[in-house]
């Protein structure tokens, strides 16, 4: 891996509610190299999107964060909100999963771009901002002549391209894509994934791709982190994790995918646990077909079973 652009160490994000603290991210550690694409995969409610929001400083009030989160060596946790706003756009950018709800229906596409650019640099004129916007749109295959159109005048795939162009117009170093292909048909999905690959090659940009779709991870990413109940349970290269998964949860996810060779549908029994009161020991043990007494009593450590391939399982060596 190249020198890390982002490092998380024992990162925790707890949401405070009337019922107690929701441990959405609970002790996550990883490093992301420059120019690397890392996928984060897991079931709904496992903490993927919260992790992305924590990196971007977009967490709601009454949220406790602890641990360490460093961007190019600089600690992000605890910095002033005004400083975080400057970093968003110039250093960090986000692609949302539903562009229609993120674009203002009363603003033209020109207005969105001009506002984004001038918030970060007041010295840029509206004319120059418009020129940058047109160039960014053209790089996504959308003619600059459509700058004065409104969001509803575009298809879902084109709106997602606009969101990508807005995220990249300030040339950030790290892009977080939160379910960027949700609700898109397979042809448009393939186009969006190709754009992400081109961006990584053209700008040496680092990307964190959050998704449920293992096929998307396989297409785009160098490494994959598998999250369950607020924790990373397996981390390694896409090839290593997909070909020889170690954690039983990862094995279940891969077994549940559908291909042209699928003859029988498979699933993981049970439901993800409540993050208000997660299980003791290994959080997957109530659903794990291989669980033993130690799994409910002791929390497994992240162990490097192969070079660069880590998993949190007491019996991981049995699956090698």
Query: Based on the domain organization, do 132 and 219 belong to the same domain?
Result: no
108 burial level (CB within 10 Å; 0-12, 13-18, 19+): middle
CATH number for 258:
3.40.50.300
In a domain, 268, yes or no: yes
For the segment 105-125, the average pLDDT, to the nearest whole number, is 91
Query: Based on the domain organization, do 69 and 107 belong to the same domain?
Result: no
For the segment 122-136, the average pLDDT, to the nearest whole number, is 92
How far apart are alpha carbons 213 and 221 in whole angstroms?
A: 12
Classify 277 as helix, strand or coil.
coil
Instruction: Please choose, from the candidates 64, 73, 70, 67, the residue with its C-alpha nearest in 3D space to the C-alpha of residue 24.
Output: 64
* Sheet of 4-17, strand order: 20-33, 4-17, 63-71, 74-75
Most trustworthy range by pLDDT among 125-129, 158-162, 309-313: 309-313
186-199, pLDDT tens digit by residue?
A: 888 888 888 888 87
Query: Based on the domain organization, do 56 and 100 belong to the same domain?
Result: no
Neighbours of 246 (CB within 10 A): 27
Query: Based on the domain organization, do 159 and 207 belong to the same domain?
Result: no
In a domain, 262, yes or no: yes
241-288, pLDDT tens digit by residue?
A: 999 999 999 999 999 988 878 888 889 999 999 999 999 999 999 999
In a domain, 192, yes or no: no
Query: Based on the domain organization, do 65 and 209 belong to the same domain?
Result: yes
Query: Based on the domain organization, do 298 and 240 belong to the same domain?
Result: yes
In a domain, 195, yes or no: no
In a domain, 71, yes or no: yes
Query: Based on the domain organization, do 59 and 96 belong to the same domain?
Result: no
Query: Based on the domain organization, do 15 and 56 belong to the same domain?
Result: yes
- Cβ atoms of 235 and 302 within 8 Å: the answer is yes
For the segment 122-140, the average pLDDT, to the nearest whole number, is 91
In a domain, 241, yes or no: yes
138-177, pLDDT tens digit by residue?
A: 988 899 999 999 999 998 888 988 988 888 888 899 999 9
In this structure, what token pair is assigned to residue 242?
């997909």
The owner of tokens 């004319």 is 127
Domain that includes residue 13, residue range: 4-79+176-183+202-319
- Cβ atoms of 37 and 209 within 8 Å: the answer is yes
Distances (CA, A) of 305 to 142, 232, 245: 46, 15, 11
Query: Based on the domain organization, do 210 and 313 belong to the same domain?
Result: yes
Q: pTM for the whole thing?
A: 0.92
* Domain boundary, last residue among 148, 171, 194: 171
Domain count, the chain: 2
Average pLDDT value for the chain:
91
For the segment 109-136, the average pLDDT, to the nearest whole number, is 91
pLDDT reported for residue 2: 62
DSSP secondary structure letter of residue 221: -
Q: Is the model's pLDDT at 1 over the cut of 60?
A: no
Query: Based on the domain organization, do 130 and 162 belong to the same domain?
Result: yes
Query: Based on the domain organization, do 221 and 136 belong to the same domain?
Result: no
pLDDT reported for residue 183: 67
Query: Based on the domain organization, do 153 and 253 belong to the same domain?
Result: no
Q: Which residues pair with 177 in a beta bridge?
A: 95, 209
In a domain, 191, yes or no: no
Q: Is the model's pLDDT at 122 over the cut of 70?
A: yes
How far apart are alpha carbons 221 and 88 in whole angstroms?
A: 23
How far apart are alpha carbons 165 and 133 in whole angstroms?
A: 8
58-72, pLDDT tens digit by residue?
A: 999 889 999 999 999
pLDDT reported for residue 167: 87
pLDDT reported for residue 90: 82
194-235, pLDDT tens digit by residue?
A: 888 887 887 788 999 999 889 889 989 999 999 999 999 999
In a domain, 86, yes or no: no
């Amino acid at each position: 891996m190249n020198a890390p652009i982002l490092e998380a160490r024992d990162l925790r994000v707890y949401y405070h509610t009337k019922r107690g603290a929701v441990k959405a991210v609970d002790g996550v550690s990883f490093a992301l190299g420059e120019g690397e694409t890392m996928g984060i995969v897991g079931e709904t409610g496992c903490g993927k999107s919260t992790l992305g929001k924590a990196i971007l400083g977009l967490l709601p009030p009454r949220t406790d964060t602890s641990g360490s989160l460093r961007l190019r060596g600089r600690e992000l946790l605890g910095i002033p909100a005004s400083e975080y706003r400057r970093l968003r756009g110039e250093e960090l950018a986000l692609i949302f999963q539903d562009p229609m709800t993120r674009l203002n229906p009363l603003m033209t596409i020109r207005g969105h771009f001009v506002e984004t650019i001038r918030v970060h640099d007041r010295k840029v004129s509206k004319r120059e901002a418009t020129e940058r916007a047109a160039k960014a749109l053209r790089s996504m295959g959308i003619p600059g002549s459509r700058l004065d159109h409104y969001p509803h005048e575009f298809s879902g795939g084109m709106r997602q391209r606009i969101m990508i162009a807005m995220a990249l117009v300030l040339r950030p170093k790290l892009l977080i894509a939160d379910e960027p292909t949700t609700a898109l048909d397979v042809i448009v999905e393939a186009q969006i994934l190709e754009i992400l690959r081109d961006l990584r090659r053209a700008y040496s940009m680092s990307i964190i791709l959050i998704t449920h779709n293992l096929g998307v991870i396989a297409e785009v990413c160098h490494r994959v982190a598998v999250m369950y109940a607020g924790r990373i349970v397996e981390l390694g290269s896409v090839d290593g994790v997909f070909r020889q998964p170690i954690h039983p949860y990862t094995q279940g996810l891969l077994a549940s995918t559908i291909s042209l060779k699928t003859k029988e549908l498979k699933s993981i029994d049970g439901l993800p646990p409540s993050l208000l009161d997660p299980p003791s020991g290994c959080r997957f043990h109530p659903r794990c077909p291989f669980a033993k007494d130690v799994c409910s009593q002791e929390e497994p450590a992240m162990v490097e079973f192969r070079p660069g391939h880590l998993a949190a399982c007491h019996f991981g060596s049995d699956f090698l």
